[in-house]
Structure 1
Amino acid sequence: MTRRIVVVTAVHAPSAPFLPDAYASLRDQRLPGGWEWHWVIQEDGTSDAVAPYVPADTRVTFRQGRPGGPGVARTIALSEADGSYVKVLDADDRLTPGVLARDLAALEADRTLGWATSRVLDVLPDGSTLGFPGDPEHGPIERGAVLDHWAAHDFLSPVHPATLFVRRELALALGGWMALPASEDTGLLLALNSVSRGWFSAEVGLLYRKWEGQATGQAAHLDKAERAARMAVIEARARALATFRWTYPDRLDPLVHSHGHSHSHGHSQPPGGGKRGGDGL
């Protein structure tokens, strides 16, 4: 893999006008020497409405495909993921300065970490921001901790899946995003937490836009029967993974051993230094 972070964005026509703001937040990121980013924008459909908002930048790849929801769009975008890491950026959200470097530093410093997340602020229609109480402490997140919190708090995650930064091979090994109409990003996050340790940065890493057209605000997203079914399959998958002996990294991984880390100890402190299922689009 190259020293590249692949930023994956699923987009549909209603959210396309926000792409320039997302691009500006990505363009302002600063990475360590030798590292670069590649932005893969995958339209969930084949309309003519998205392309006009895609920036003319050689570091940007725009793809289209038949509609299948944000999980399908992100997963098929992994075909263009030619880097060591994958970062999620929803079309209507913005990265905060330095977040890519902080995510990268966390996982480069400790090979026992499979993924990273960070604090989120909601951006309300009037431009004001709103944080959340109860963020986890800055530092490692042990296997199972996200699932335990989620199950005990009415399926609310202690960290936001829209901030996910993950090792590419680990995301692929778990099949990418779940084949669900929504909560597909929560499903991947809980699967990751079932097999690997993660990292939470207490510094704000994402500005999460609240607006009337977002998928999570639609009536279908709140249907009780569908929500119960989504949560049931997400939990069943995560618990099934937790019962298997496979973990990341493998306990016999010689590279981890040579670095002095074990599977459940050796909490390093990378340089630097919520919430509730992003559900995409």
Structure 2
Amino acid sequence: MRRRIIIVTAVHGPSAHHLGDAYKSLCAQELPDGWEWHWLIQEDGQGEDVAPHVPDDERITFRQGRRGGPGVARTLALAHADGEYVKILDADDQLPPGALARDLAVLEGDPSIGWTTSRVLDLMPDGTMVGFDQDPEDGPIERGAVLEHWRAHSFRAQVHPATLCVRRDLLLALGGWMALPASEDTGLLLALDAVSRGYFTREVGLHYRKWEGQATGQAAHTNAEERDTRMAVVEARARALAYYRWQHPTTS
């Protein structure tokens, strides 16, 4: 029986036209022998704009649901996650060749690692790529290190939550993504950091598209009052998890 890595994508009407590029990047992935991917595309809403852009492929499951934001859509998709690992892929982003194989190599090779992240290149509207000049060293990330860096650098983590690949059971134990209007993926990253060692790969693992329609570019996303509220609850959750000392992997 083949093993599966699950790709989870939340999508809404304005970003649906990018699904074709995301699909091409998935098809270009070469997985280890015995592995396959299953792409769960969950629409945030129940409109008619997304379905025409969903590729016709038996490895893809497309569903719709009540609108609640990308975190809610991704969490709903977990009901159909029939594999050991869950990889996040936003509808407007792309995976460079080898990204999935590198994630699997880390998680299969070290059971103490609960999640992986990787280097990101911003894909600009003119097609150029822009990197981040403060990437950490390649290798394990000890518990609590992301929270410490995030708190000391104006709520900016040293690794990107859009590159996460996570053990499915660990993701479910944490309840999926946070119920926030934004920063729900940062909330998940810091929760994972509180309970498990992670890993950072310096090879590029994501092309993060920059375009005028993306949610993080909207005015509401940078509203200072709401941002402070989101950051407060994200930090409080991470510190509470650390305080109660539940961790992955569990010990008898």
Q: TM-score range by the shorter chain?
A: over 0.9
Aligned to 1:130: 130
Does the residue aligned with 1:203 lie in a helix, a strand or coil?
A: strand
Partners of 1:35 and 1:95 in 2: CA distance: 17
| Aligned amino acid, residue 132 of structure 1 | F
- Give the conservation status (yes or no) of the 8 Å contact 1:18–1:92: yes
Aligned to 1:272: none
* Aligned ranges 1:13-24 → 2 under 5 Å: 13-24=13-24
CA apart distance, 1:17: 0.3
Does the residue aligned with 2:63 lie in a helix, a strand or coil?
A: strand
Aligned to 2:232: 232
* Aligned ranges 1:31-70 → 2 under 5 Å: 31-70=31-70
For 1:21-68, what per-residue CA distance to the aligned partner results, in whole angstroms no more than 9, with x for missing partners?
Answer: 000000111111111100000000111110111000000000001100
Partners of 1:206 and 1:191 in 2: CA distance: 22
Which stretches in structure 1 are left out of the alignment for 5+ residues? 253-281
- Quick check: 127-136 or 229-238, which moved more? 127-136
Q: Does residue 96 of the first structure (1) align with residue 105 of the second (2)?
A: no
Partners of 1:98 and 1:55 in 2: CA distance: 21
| Aligned amino acid, residue 74 of structure 1 | R
Two-structure CA RMSD over aligned residues (Å): 0.9
Partners of 2:64 and 2:245 in 1: CA distance: 38
| Aligned amino acid, residue 57 of structure 1 | D
Does the residue aligned with 1:57 lie in a helix, a strand or coil?
A: coil
CA apart distance, 1:246: 1.3
Partners of 1:246 and 1:233 in 2: CA distance: 19
| Aligned amino acid, residue 115 of structure 1 | W
- Give the conservation status (yes or no) of the 8 Å contact 1:2–1:82: no
Does the residue aligned with 1:94 lie in a helix, a strand or coil?
A: coil
Q: Does residue 119 of the first structure (1) align with residue 119 of the second (2)?
A: yes
- Length-normalised TM-score, structure 2: 0.99
Q: Does residue 185 of the first structure (1) align with residue 224 of the second (2)?
A: no
| Aligned amino acid, residue 152 of structure 2 | A
Aligned to 1:141: 141
- Give the conservation status (yes or no) of the 8 Å contact 1:117–1:163: yes
CA apart distance, 1:245: 2.3
For 1:169-204, what per-residue CA distance to the aligned partner results, in whole angstroms no more than 9, with x for missing partners?
Answer: 000000000000000000000000000000100000
Partners of 2:128 and 2:36 in 1: CA distance: 32
Q: Identity across aligned pairs (percent)?
A: 71
Which stretches in structure 2 are left out of the alignment for 5+ residues? none
> Number of residue pairs matched?
252
CA apart distance, 1:2: 6.7
| Aligned amino acid, residue 18 of structure 1 | H
| Aligned amino acid, residue 75 of structure 2 | T
Aligned to 1:257: none
After the TM superposition, list the runs of 4 or more consecutive aligned residues in structure 1 that deviate by more than 2 angstroms.
none
Aligned to 2:26: 26
- Give the conservation status (yes or no) of the 8 Å contact 2:2–2:34: no
* Aligned ranges 1:109-258 → 2 under 5 Å: 109-252=109-252
- Give the conservation status (yes or no) of the 8 Å contact 1:13–1:49: yes
Does the residue aligned with 2:246 lie in a helix, a strand or coil?
A: coil
Partners of 1:90 and 1:224 in 2: CA distance: 25
| Aligned amino acid, residue 189 of structure 1 | L
Does the residue aligned with 1:191 lie in a helix, a strand or coil?
A: helix
